[in-house]
Amino acid sequence: MTYPTIHKDPADLRVTPNLPAAGWPGFSWAVARSWLDGLPDGAGLNIAHEAVDRHAAGPRAGHVALRWLGRHGERLDLTYADLARRTSAFAHALERLGTAPGDSVFALSGRVPALYVAAIGTLKARRVFCPLFSAFGPEPVRQRMAIGEATVLVTTRTAYERKVAALRDGLPRLRHVLLTDVPADAAPPEGTLSFAALVAGEAQEYAIAPTDPETPALLHFTSGTTGTPKGAVHVHEAVVMHHASARFALDLHPEDVYWCTADPGWVTGTSYGIVAPLTHGVTSIVDEADFDAERWYATLREERVSVWYTAPTAIRRLMRLGGPAQGALAAPALRFVASVGEPLNPEAVVWGQDALGLPVHDNWWQTETGGIMIANTAAADVRPGSMGRPLPGVEAAVLRRGPDGVLLADGRAEVLGPGVGGELALRPGWPSMFRGYLHAEERYRRCFAGGWYLTGDLASRDEDGYFWFLGRADDVIKSSGHLIGPFEVESTLMEHPAVAEAGVIGKPDPVACEIVKAFVVARPDAAGDGGLTRELLGFGRARLGAAVAPREIEIVTELPHTRSGKIMRRLLRARELGLPVGDLSTLEGGEIP
């Protein structure tokens, strides 16, 4: 099924969008840089200054920066002035601990205020901040801290004792462990410090030293599924992209109440859960609790969230579970919804329009890009299933992908026209582009060819410049000479009213090379017998044609997901082949983003 374009009526947008539907002719990154202050007296560019200190020194000092909702009903508001004081104290504490500019400060924690203080304070002190997903097991934690040469770890007592204490002998650079849940007047475990006690006596003003925009600021790990994880290095100049993309793709305005549901251990939770909204001076909702449909609807309603940035997995779960209210009753202040983490099925876009009165706006970026590159924006029409169009300043193309890569014999890359699938590529030069993989220069060089950054994603572009995701290069199914993207098949199956979620793989076949096999989670009210399987096989053939439709469908109770919510197709393939899957905690890939 091809879903019709959702046309935008300017009268329904509530505010004037930051990015007109026609784009921004004449935009440049110098223009975006002018929207930020820079350090006083031309001393460079520092993320912490743009996110917190410049607001704390101005009329937004008393505006709420973070509204923390505790797991058990606790509530804390931190203004920009509060955040400036707390992050300054942490920056002083890092200096008193003997750390130096460039040292790495890791965080292994859920969404608690100390994590946000540590992130901004680290950047203020010109140390490198590296978040880790709090549900990682000991081995992923060890790998990343070893590669990143962790000097300081901010974590909880439980996480330290279960995941780090036994590893300390193998982490010689780790000198300090700061526990966020040990009160200032309590004795911490041996070899650790109380975060609260450490910052209690520190000065609450901090003069940020001159910061070259190319100074390393953030370290994000990605794709630990084959070999060792890759540590993507981002610099302070990335804040130009964080700010501009939040303006264009998320349409942030000063009085917005913004909620990003991504875990801060992933790049989305840092770039758009911490940095970007703070640069705009908005109020960010920080909910410590895990997903709960009733709680989420209540948060949208009671906190009067106006801009919501979430993940396709969460949207699909809400679709599957249903909601307590529809339209404006569910979220009366909500005016813009966006999604990221994996491609958004067209059915989910339409669900948003029906359930919330707003389409869900998909966008695309990666850990390596550091910021949103392609998006369905507030003023532009939405084409369900599309990633959207490149943001101002971003040049994207689809390159022909051959057996040996994307380069022709003369060293050029062939840019494909509308409707032809190939490798999604970006022209380097945007501010948040990663500057390297830590200790892996050759891996970094292989990401570029013919003047393009190669994303590893397959996509096509239509005549109006909208990009459409086809799949990861290593997920594409080769069947009887056809190249089939699993996302297309999954999205089509989800159009069936009995299907809650679908995962698609290529199953080895002696004749066709591979056949398409789908694993389907049925909605609670759907029959799970062979009748449904036959019905879905016919549905797929009718929608997709015999060459693309699944040849086999298996009804399952759940699909395996990464910690960030993406379907683990490689695990489905391993199970199909009867291969051992090992410890799932070691299979966790990075977030895309």
The helix-helix angle for 113-124 and 80-96 (nearest 10°) equals 60
Question: What torsion, rounded to 10 degrees, do the Cα atoms 484, 487, 490, 491 define?
Answer: -120
**What are the Cα distances from residue 485, in Å, to 323, 414, 490, 505?**
31, 21, 9, 9
Supply the pTM of this predicted model. 0.85
What domains can be seen in the chain, in order of their start residue? 477-559 (3.30.300.30)
Check: CB of residue 268 under 8 Å from CB of residue 340. yes
Handedness of CA 439, 442, 448, 450 (dihedral sign): positive
Exposure letters 452-473 (e unless 16+ CB within 10 A, then b): bbbbebbbbbeeeebbbbbbbe
Two tokens, residue 9 = 């009526």
Residue 225 DSSP SS3: coil
For residues 368 and 399, give the distance between their C-alpha atoms in angstroms, rounded to a whole number. Answer: 19
* Residue-level pLDDT, tens digit, the chain, 593 residues: 568 899 887 777 889 999 999 999 999 999 999 999 999 999 999 999 999 999 999 999 999 999 999 999 999 999 999 999 999 999 999 999 999 999 999 999 999 999 999 999 999 999 999 999 888 888 889 989 999 999 999 999 999 999 999 999 999 999 999 999 999 999 999 999 999 999 998 999 999 999 999 999 999 998 644 457 899 999 999 999 999 999 999 999 999 999 999 999 989 999 999 999 999 999 999 999 988 888 999 999 999 999 999 988 889 888 877 655 455 557 889 999 999 877 888 989 988 988 888 999 999 999 999 999 999 999 999 999 999 999 999 999 999 987 777 888 778 899 999 999 999 999 999 999 999 999 999 999 999 999 999 999 989 999 999 999 887 777 778 776 566 778 778 888 988 999 989 999 888 887 777 899 999 999 887 765 568 999 999 998 888 878 788 999 999 998 988 766 678 888 888 888 877 654 433 333 333 23
Check: CB of residue 413 under 8 Å from CB of residue 438. no
